[in-house]
């Protein structure tokens, strides 16, 4: 079987994979990207709308533009890209200690093995679907996730239906409301189970209000009707958390798009023995973004679902530079714990160290204006950061400099806790 030897193998050639690979290659290490699709770019290629790159490039770009800027840099680099290739299995072979082995299947390269001292997981995420949320009723055609519809419309040029209802007011659902309208369809409603929209407000304006598409907050789709093709849905309001069935109403449609959440795609990781954190559905990582397997790092949506691709690029560069340090045997720094305090859903990574500036990504559980992110150690506040507005759907990125941490270096067992108040 053909074997290729690299210093670093990056699984996934989307935003995360490309940024991480460039960082490693820049330091002079032999790097490979293994990508399932026929070109680099990942999900960005179907996100033809703008809103990307304000942090990374200081301009507002569309998804394909953002992706291509990175893909161009990859082309100019020495990174070896295996397209049309799927990693089927990853393990640590006993006869090659200190190496990771990836079994890859490709219609172009056949079945081959990549051996590398470091691996960066950048496989992205998948969408939750009807089966996960269990909408009762029939099982006709015309039901799909918003992402699949986006792929069909933007890449393949097919329109799945004309009378659309969308479940979920996350950004993907909102963007598709606009996209389908601009593709000549009629979007009848967006149905949201929470009492507030999950997507950013900008999208409520430019995707719903602009087209007078009604948003039903605190409503659920309680039944799907239609034998071979969907014909209508039953929408039920939630009153005090319970379905108010008396006030259900029917909406006729021929297409139902689901935008009900994203889940990191970690089957490969799990099978390889990587410990997963059920709070984020991604690997447990230390302050170097390294998983429980030495030399295996994770970044991007496979680690935790992001909402800004700019943060993905920053996080992935971090994973890349830590992989470099690992290859240079320079990855030092004892790891200490950091945990979620009040109103914080999760923090990534779950560890910090004293040797570097530490960057954390967290999600709030509350919606609040004039909020304060408070970092405590042993009950002592060591830093506070003001935020004019926090909400669950907007990830917060904070930095703890080495200088900030100096204050607690005297503690025998320093533990950090981050809260939002």
Partner 1 sequence: MKYDVAIIGAGVSGAAIARKLSQYNLKTVLLEKEADVSFGTSKANSGIIHGGFHTSMKYLKSRLEIQGNLMFDALQRELGFPFRRCGVIVAAFREEELKHIQNLYRQGVDNGVIGIEICSRERILDIEPKLNPDVIGGLHAPNGGIIEPYRFVFSLVESARKNGVDLIVNFKVDSAERTGAKWKISSDDGQSIEAEYVINAAGLYADRVSDIFKAENFKIIPRKGEEYLLDRMSPAYPNKVIFPVPHGKTKGTLVIPTVEGTMMVGPTADEIDDKEDLTTSREHLDRIFDFSRRMVPSISERDIITSFAGLRPALASGDFYIEVSEKAENFIQVAGIQSPGLTASPAIGEYVKNLLKKLDCLLVEKKDWDPHIDKVPRMRNLSHFESEKIVEENPQFGNIICRCEKVSEGEIVEAIRRGHTTLDGVKFFTRTGMGRCQGGFCTYKTIKIIMRETGLSYEQVTKRGKNSEILMERL
Partner 2 sequence: MEKDYICIACPIGCRLKLTADGGKLVVSGNKCKRGEVYAIEEYSEPKRVVTATCSIGMDKAVSGFKLERMPVKTTKPILKDQIDSLLKDIYALKLKPPVKRGDVLLKDYNGTGIDVVATRSAG
Instruction: Give the interface with partner 2 as residue ranges (CB under 8 A).
Output: 38-39, 45, 48-51, 54, 60-65, 68, 83, 153-157, 182, 200-202, 204-206, 210, 308
What residues from 92 to 131 belong to the interface with partner 1 (CB under 8 A)? 103, 105-111, 113, 126-127, 129-131
Q: Which does residue 145 touch among partner 2, partner 1, none (CB within 5 to 8 A, set by kind)?
A: partner 1
Q: Does 229 bind partner 1 (CB under 8 A)?
A: yes
Q: Which does residue 147 touch among partner 2, partner 1, none (CB within 5 to 8 A, set by kind)?
A: partner 1
Beta carbon nearer to partner 2, 54 or 421: 54
Beta carbon nearer to partner 2, 5 or 200: 200
Q: Does 144 bind partner 1 (CB under 8 A)?
A: yes
- Residues 6 or more apart in contact with residue 357 via CB below 8 angstroms: 399, 400, 401, 402
CB of 170 vs partner 2, minimal distance in Å: 14
Q: Which does residue 54 touch among partner 2, partner 1, none (CB within 5 to 8 A, set by kind)?
A: partner 2
Task: Provide the angle, in degrees to the nearest 10, between the axes of the packed helices 15-26 and 309-327.
Answer: 40
Beta carbon nearer to partner 1, 84 or 404: 84
What is the C-alpha separation between 244 and 239, in angstroms, rounded?
6
- Residues 6 or more apart in contact with residue 419 via CB below 8 angstroms: 341, 342, 343, 344, 373, 374, 376
| Contact in structure between 320 and 18 (CB atoms under 8 Å) | no
Please state the three-class secondary structure of 381-405 as a single string.
Answer: EEEEEEEEEECCCCCEEEEECHHHH
Which span (49-57, 159-167, 197-205, 357-365) binds partner 1, by CB under 8 A?
A: 159-167
What residues from 73 to 92 belong to the interface with partner 1 (CB under 8 A)? 84, 86, 88-89
CA atoms within 13 A on the CB side of 162: 1
Q: Does 239 bind partner 1 (CB under 8 A)?
A: no
- In the shown chain, the binding pattern of residues 176 to 215 toward partner 1, with x for contact by CB under 8 A and - for none, equals -------xx-------------------------------
Q: Does 245 bind partner 1 (CB under 8 A)?
A: no
| Both tokens assigned to 139 | 């099982």
Task: Provide the angle, in degrees to the nearest 10, between the axes of the packed helices 63-76 and 309-327.
Answer: 20
Secondary structure (DSSP) of 340-355: E-TTEEEEESSEE-SS
Beta carbon nearer to partner 2, 62 or 99: 62
Which span (146-154, 330-338, 375-383, 388-396) binds partner 1, by CB under 8 A?
A: 146-154
Q: Which does residue 417 touch among partner 2, partner 1, none (CB within 5 to 8 A, set by kind)?
A: none
| Contact in structure between 211 and 181 (CB atoms under 8 Å) | yes
Residue 102 bridge partners (DSSP): 90, 114
| Contact in structure between 8 and 294 (CB atoms under 8 Å) | no
CA atoms within 13 A on the CB side of 133: 21
What is the C-alpha separation between 272 and 89, in angstroms, rounded?
7
Beta carbon nearer to partner 1, 137 or 333: 137
Beta carbon nearer to partner 2, 62 or 281: 62
Q: Which does residue 160 touch among partner 1, partner 2, none (CB within 5 to 8 A, set by kind)?
A: partner 1
What is the C-alpha separation between 324 and 247, in angstroms, rounded?
59
Q: Residues interacting with partner 1, by CB under 8 A? A: 1, 36, 84, 86, 88-89, 103, 105-111, 113, 126-127, 129-132, 134, 136-142, 144-145, 147-148, 151-153, 155-162, 183-184, 222-223, 227-229, 254, 265, 267, 270
């Amino acid at each position: 079987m053909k074997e290729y030897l690299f210093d670093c193998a990056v699984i996934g050639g989307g935003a995360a994979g490309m940024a991480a690979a460039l960082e490693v290659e820049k330091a002079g290490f032999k790097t490979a990207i293994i990508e399932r699709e026929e070109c680099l770019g990942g999900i960005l290629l179907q996100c033809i709308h703008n809103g990307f790159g304000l942090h990374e490039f200081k301009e507002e770009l569309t998804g394909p533009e953002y992706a291509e800027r990175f893909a161009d840099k990859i082309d100019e680099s020495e990174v070896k890209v295996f397209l049309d290739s799927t990693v089927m299995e990853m393990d640590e072979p006993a006869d090659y200690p200190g190496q990771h082995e990836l079994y890859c299947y490709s219609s172009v390269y056949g079945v081959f093995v990549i051996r590398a001292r470091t691996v960066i997981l950048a496989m992205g995420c998948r969408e939750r679907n009807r089966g996960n949320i269990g909408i009762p009723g029939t099982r006709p055609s015309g039901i799909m996730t918003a992402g699949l519809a986006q792929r069909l419309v933007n890449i393949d040029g097919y329109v799945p239906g004309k009378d659309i209802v969308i479940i979920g007011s996350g950004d993907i659902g909102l963007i598709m409301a606009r996209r389908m309208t601009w593709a000549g369809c009629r979007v009848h409603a967006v149905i949201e189970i929470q009492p507030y929209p999950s997507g950013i407000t900008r999208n409520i304006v430019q995707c719903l209000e602009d087209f007078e598409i009604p948003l039903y907050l605190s409503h659920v789709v309680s039944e799907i009707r239609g034998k071979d093709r969907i014909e209508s849905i039953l929408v039920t309001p939630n009153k005090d958390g319970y379905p108010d069935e008396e006030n259900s109403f029917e909406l006729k449609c021929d297409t139902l798009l689901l935008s009900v959440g994203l889940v990191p795609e970690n089957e490969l990781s799990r099978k390889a023995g990587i410990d997963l954190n059920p709070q984020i559905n991604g690997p447990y990582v230390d302050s170097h973004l390294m998983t429980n397997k030495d030399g295996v790092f994770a970044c991007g949506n496979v680690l935790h679902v992001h909402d800004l691709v700019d943060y993905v690029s920053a996080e992935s560069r971090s994973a890349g530079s830590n992989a470099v340090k690992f290859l240079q045997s320079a990855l030092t720094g004892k790891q200490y714990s950091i945990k979620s305090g009040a109103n914080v859903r999760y923090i990534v990574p779950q560890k910090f160290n004293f040797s570097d500036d530490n960057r954390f990504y967290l999600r709030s559980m509350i919606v609040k204006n004039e909020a304060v992110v408070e970092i405590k150690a042993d009950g002592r506040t060591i830093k506070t950061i003001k935020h004019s507005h926090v909400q669950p759907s907007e990830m917060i990125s904070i930095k703890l400099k080495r200088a900030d941490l100096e204050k607690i270096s005297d503690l025998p067992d320093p533990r950090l806790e981050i809260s939002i108040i």
